[in-house]
Structure 1
């Protein structure tokens, strides 16, 4: 389910019911995209920013329709701004659907990473042919941000030049402020890109795409939200080495890459960022990449400043002692789960208990509530710490969650 919260109240509350944008506060919405990512922000001056919007699996029609209505409600007929963290389709391939259905919402600026060339800046964003369809969003500027220790520049493409000849400018090494202001009460706020186009030593195409992710720091007074896209450990190293003062003790931290082990933090990074709340963009029962991983979740849940707030969450683990062969896995269905209701996907490669609590040690004794024939196991767990998983919180899986009223 979608998650809504804000900076500006005396205490940060979380709801799964759409909220109106309150002038003078930083309004935040984390959209359940299944296997994907989307964050919508209404700033204290009511300007609206969308950070990513894409999916590859299990997108809920209800959550996405809610996101469409939210953007139109929060933008109030004005153009919005978009940050595409990197060219993985689960981070941008629903932007046309989100903004171009009636009533249409236009875009002022697209901030992005990894331009293909000066003549084709969005050439890597092939899904939905973003470059060819850019005029569906009006006549937006395209702005690539590079902040990686070696370079700190912006390159801007304008429609008047048919997006062919970019203007390059130096930007501050400590971050590119895309929006800032002060509320009537004198509270400072800002949105700043603090990393982009970080290089990698890897030859893996997926790593090359992920490491460049734009990282956005949202500040409201002393509250901070750090959005990380699909950042890898190399991106996090850059943040720790070059942006250290700005990322100390954030309020909400988005666990990078949906909880992938490619972004497993060092103890130093985790202890420095030391969040009050964790956010993971992940779908429920999505087997595409088996995310989030146990090692990543267990590492972040040891953060010392996490607020006390009971949460239900899920994680994946590869391999289990005693389940080494196809025969062992089949035994789960025939013996260990024979007295419980379970379901399967169409290809009969993934199986799960309809009531995850049936997997508890006092019942079937397996401890996991899902498994695949590729030897991946899905666990349901309880935490005493503040952790939001977009596909889990407020769902049937999280039946004990009672959303407060904002």
Structure 2
């Protein structure tokens, strides 16, 4: 066995610490410098306290607490004593694409809160598991036919073309990740303005849906609508999920309690079947009208025809409570960018939209949101601030 051969440079590096450092990369030398800093233990404490946040907010300043009676200084803190003379705190952004550590924390908190609302815990009695509870999905309406995955896309026996000369059907079977999935069959037929405005008013549509559920329940049992809260209480938790066509579906957990909330049993008429009927009826009937615009007209915005309302039963016959809580927690951390339906930061110009790493369908929706944001009729929506998620969130 031969001993390793050493060059003069190797020998100098072994005997000279400075020479050894010079052989390391700049990043390694910087790590060693930080580790040798007397404030390194405090720096580690800060990293641990922020949970490895990707974009911590750095605070600077001081705070002093005095005794009002004596003027004695009880406590003084100054960030100048911290490493780098600043104090990092979590950004607390719930989007996984922005900060994965903070989004995981947010998802965990959401899971436990939703689960507590379904089965009890967090000061909510376990009796809520026996209350009428639903897992509801509300969809966006159609803004024009798009390519679909997993089956014959758009079969048509008679073929035919639209007024723009493009085929009305598609006989292909697209893979789930095929680039055509979610894209319009005809971009000129697709109502991009209605798509963006539906997103923008989805928050109002949800509010009216909730009011409608209460009204439907009150009407069904002969109560004056103004007296509903004297007899029952509805609780909701909702998230939005972007579909391949870049339109959101809203998923919600709904629970019916007595007038005092989770500590109160619902009235005898408060059943899962009656709650389901009220949800479906409200989803069919509510609408939001947009202000008239010479460019767009007046739109009557509604939920899509597909409404899913599944009871959550304590006997296990139906969706699993933990699975529903996990589903809600999953989508509370996902924005438009994870599905390719937009990006996770605001755009400030046409150039930002042109440079965005999105499909042409999504880019057109972003451009439409930007254009609509310049119309006085929609000024209150601030649609240019919401162009990155395609208008969604403007009234949420």
Question: Which TM-score bucket, shorter chain as reference?
Answer: under 0.3
| TM-score, length basis structure 1 | 0.22
Q: Normalized per residue, which structure has more helix?
A: 2
* Larger RCO (CA within 8 A; separation ≥ 6): 2
Structure of higher CA gyration radius: 2
Q: Normalized per residue, which structure has more strand?
A: 1
